[in-house]
Structure 1
């Protein structure tokens, strides 16, 4: 989440969701560019920034949960062999 706070899409890239991170970064840049170039409200790109942070947090939680499930299965297999 902290990476996405600093740079939209960076959290997704760190989590391994490369396409999602690149698309989110492109949407953020497009929204910010439109806001500056055409005088749209700055609020146009803020939802992409907030969504990117939340999506990165959820992706990290999914990854951590998968890792913990895998480790628990390894420990259970090791105990059954002992």
Structure 2
């Protein structure tokens, strides 16, 4: 949801700070070029959409890794009979 509001914010929240900054920079360059040079709007909207999808995938990777670590912790702590 953060990337819906600001491109790159979702990546930044997921811990992918460099990726988030790069996406935000690309989005900003496209937005400025649209305003200053009259570039068509559809040229920078894909960065926004891709940023949202990329943040969602990053969150899923992070959640999967967390669940894997939790499952490994549970498996190594057997209850005492």
TM-score, shorter chain, exceeding 0.5: yes
Please state if 1:68 is matched with 2:67: yes
Alignment match, 1:40: 39
Residue aligned with 1:75, SS: helix
In 2, the alpha carbon distance for the partners of 1:12 and 1:43 equals 22
Distance 1:10 1:67 in 2: 21
Gaps of 5+ in 1: none
The CA deviation at 1:45 is 1.0
More helix by share: 1
Give the 3-state SS of the residue equivalent to 2:63 in structure 1: helix
Q: CA RMSD in A?
A: 0.8
What does residue 10 of structure 2 align with? 11
TM-score by length of 1: 0.95
Deviation at 1:21, TM superposition (A): 0.1
